[in-house]
Structure formats: C-alpha cells, structure tokens
Amino acid sequence: MKKVLFLLLFANVLSAQKMQTLTYFKNDTLQLDLDLYMPDKKPSGKLPLMIFVHGGGFSGGQRLQNASFCQYLAQHGFAAATISYTLYMKGKKFSCDGILTEKVKAFKFGVNDLWLATSYFLQNKEKFNLDDSKIFISGSSAGAETVLHAAYWDRNLMKMYEHNLPPDFKYAGLVSGAGAIMDLNLITDKNIIPMFFFHGNGDGTVPYGTAAHHYCKTDASGWLMLFGSYSIYNYALAKNASAELYTYCGGGHEYSGWLFEKEQQKIVDFLEKIMVGEKIQSHTIVKTGKKNELSCAYGFCD
C-alpha cells in the first residue's frame, strides 16, 4: 500500500513539473497569469495550442478550474493553457437586477484579456514550439461567452489594450460549454471558424436557444438578449460551416463543464478532425433523465 501511495505521489510530482506558470500581461495596476501544460514527449513538429477560459459569472472562479482538461490535452500532443482574467463583475450584480452596460463591459474585459494571452503566445511561438495556425480557444459558461466574442468581435472596435494581434489572425476553432453570443450577425462568412458546443437544453442561466440572459423580463435593468449553442449551431449550418453540438436533454447549467471534466476525448476527436481539414456537422442528443419546461420546448424530451 505504501509503495502504491509513493508511486501516485511521484506521478503527481512529475505531472506538476510539466506545468509552468507564466505572466502574459503586466502593467502598473494589473498582472495576468496563465498555467501552461506541455506534452511529455518531444513532438515531431510544431504544437497546436488550446487556451482555456474558466467560468464563474465574470466574478469568481480561477484558472485551476478544468486544469485536468489542459493536462489531458497535453497528454494528447497539445500545448494547453488555462488563464486568469479580469473578473469585472466581482461585487456587482450580473443577473436581471444588474446593469446592462456593466454586463457587456465584463464580456469586454474577458475578451481583451484572452486577446492579450493569444498575443503572448504568438510572440513566443518559437520558444514554445507552437503552430500559430492551430490556436484554439475554449471555455465554460462565462468563459464560453468570452471565447465566442473573442472569435467574432471586431478587435479594433472592441480593444481596451494594444493586443498586437495581426489583422488577418483567426483562431483555428473554439469549444463552448454552455456559452452564448450577443448577436449572431457578428458571425460572418468571412470570419466563421469551426465550433464545438455542448449545452443542457434546460439551462436557465445561459439560454440554449435564443432568450434573455437568466430569462430576465424585458423591463429588467440587466436584460440582455443572448443566442445560445443551439441557435449558433443552426446558424453555422446555414452557412455550411463546421459545427458540432452535444445537447444534454433536460440538463441545466450544471452541464457547462461536462465534457471538459468527464469526456475530454470527444473534444480531442473534434480538434483532430478540424486540423486535418475534415468537415463536421453533427448534433448528438444525450438523455439525462431530467425534464423541465425549458428543455421540452425544443421537442427533444419526447
């Protein structure tokens, strides 16, 4: 028994040695760090990179959330980083009784921090042996909202810092766990990228389809219309783009991190197909045994 415990402890130490904490942005008032996980074995070529953004309503959470996802990716030949970012809503209201402009500003801070992290990796691509044409982004809940807007917002119009991203830079793809975007029109034929979604269709926090954030009434001070995974997926199909959706039938917001935590191989499969140029258009409905008014509105619970 003691030998087994020692081996487990030794394995954990080795695993910890593969992770390095780095500062990707610093000014007089702010320091932003990330944890970078690299493969054990020296690769034959340059590495694809995944940048992960944690959830927490832009007010909580930490980059250690879903560190296991980054470790899993590193074991499968990816460089993977999980980042800290500005939690602008800390101490503020982010629900129906919040302030709309403040909610949008929270998105903007998260997106700009992700752009800064991306810029950091582009500037250090030789140091980390990265393939700059294979940079992916992912996140759950608030992190998913961050990656969706980072992919499709106008970087000049919405920038808060000089991120130094090339004008023609595009992410190779994104993974969104219970995410949403403010406007489908942000996604165009020119900027659309491959997308992987998973979402509970009974989510009462971030809409699975098209609805207000938290399903707020229209007279609420924090009313914000959002287009969730199902709406974006169908929009992508209409543009004949690559998109994959896992619908957790009856599931709520607790499924926002499900595949990052429990079924990472499904994400790896998607990424590997995208990297070899395969077209993906797939919708998988997963029964959870749960049922509520929101989920059954889509007809998947029959």
- List Cβ neighbours of 101 (8 Å cut-off, separation of 6 or more): none
Question: Which domains does the chain show, CATH number per domain?
Answer: 13-296 (3.40.50.1820)
Of residues 293 and 81, the one with the higher pLDDT is: 81
Predicted pLDDT at 20: 97
pLDDT band with cut points at 50, 70 and 90 for residue 16: very low
Whether 246 and 197 have beta carbons less than 8 Å apart is answered as yes
Predicted pLDDT at 166: 96
Whether 158 and 112 have beta carbons less than 8 Å apart is answered as yes
Per DSSP, what are the bridge partners of residue 180?
A: 228
Predicted pLDDT at 300: 67
Q: Beginning with the edge strand found earlier in the chain, give each strand of the sheet holding 281-287 in spatial order.
A: 19-26, 31-37, 79-83, 47-53, 130-140, 173-177, 195-200, 243-249, 281-287
| Average pLDDT of the residues in 236-253 | 97
Structure confidence by residue, pLDDT tens digits, 138-164: 999 999 999 999 999 999 999 999 888
pLDDT at 8 over 70: no
Predicted pLDDT at 302: 56
Structure confidence by residue, pLDDT tens digits, 175-191: 999 999 999 999 999 99
The distance from CA 244 to its chain's CA centroid, rounded to whole angstroms, is 14
Of residues 114 and 291, the one with the higher pLDDT is: 114
φ/ψ bin of 297: left (φ > 0), alpha (ψ from -120 to 50), beta (otherwise):
alpha
Structure confidence by residue, pLDDT tens digits, 35-50: 999 999 887 899 999 9
Predicted pLDDT at 10: 40
Predicted pLDDT at 295: 66
pLDDT band with cut points at 50, 70 and 90 for residue 291: confident
Strand pairing of 195-200 and 173-177?
A: parallel
pLDDT at 3 over 80: no
Predicted pLDDT at 43: 78
Please choose, from the candidates 158, 280, 179, the residue with its C-alpha nearest in 3D space to the C-alpha of residue 227.
179
Predicted pLDDT at 294: 73
Tokens of 127: 């140091």
pLDDT band with cut points at 50, 70 and 90 for residue 66: confident
Q: Beginning with the edge strand found earlier in the chain, give each strand of the sheet holding 225-228 in spatial order.
A: 180-181, 225-228, 210-212
**Phi, psi of 282, deg, nearest 5:** -145, 135
Strand pairing of 47-53 and 31-37?
A: unpaired
- List Cβ neighbours of 195 (8 Å cut-off, separation of 6 or more): 173, 174, 175, 176, 232, 233, 236, 241, 242, 243, 244
Please choose, from the candidates 242, 267, 252, the residue with its C-alpha nearest in 3D space to the C-alpha of residue 80.
267
CA angle 134, 135, 137 (to 5 degrees): 135
| Average pLDDT of the residues in 109-121 | 98
Please choose, from the candidates 90, 84, 83, the residue with its C-alpha nearest in 3D space to the C-alpha of residue 106.
90
Whether 240 and 188 have beta carbons less than 8 Å apart is answered as no
Percent pLDDT > 70 in the chain is: 92
